[in-house]
Amino acid sequence: MSDKRYTLFRNYMANELGITRDDIKAWTMEAVAIEAKRVMAQVNIAELVAKNSVLSSQEKESVKRLIADQVAKAIVVTLTPK
């Protein structure tokens, strides 16, 4: 989008619709959180660990925690203004 078109669109959103950067940031964060929950609900980490390992139950829990921590870090979304 050209700078002029972007400026017109941004002004329309701010002046006519009353949408602020903070609104967009909040909506985006909410949408990402919902999508992350939806995707993670499709993945059964406990089942994957149980099927594919010969670990003790304590080791399996450690693996599940490690996977969950890594997934949580990967999902973090950073919104930085231009």
Residue 37: inside a domain = no
pTM exceeds cut of 0.85:
no
pLDDT on residue 23: 92
In 10 A of CB 32, how many CB atoms?
14
- Residue 68, in any domain of the structure: yes
Cα 54 to chain centroid distance, Å, stands at 32
Helix (H) or strand (E) holding 59: helix 57-75
> For 57-64, what is the mean pLDDT?
82
My answer on whether 2 and 27 are in the same domain is yes
Query: Quick one: 4 and 26 in the same domain?
Result: yes
pLDDT tens profile 5-34:
988 988 898 898 999 989 988 998 888 888
The tally of domains found in the chain comes to: 2
Query: First-to-last CA distance in the chain?
Result: 15
pLDDT, mean of residues 55-82:
74
The domain of 51 spans 43-77
Give the integer Cα–Cα distance in Å for 9 and 16: 10
Would 82 be classed as within a structural domain? no
Residue 59: inside a domain, yes or no? yes
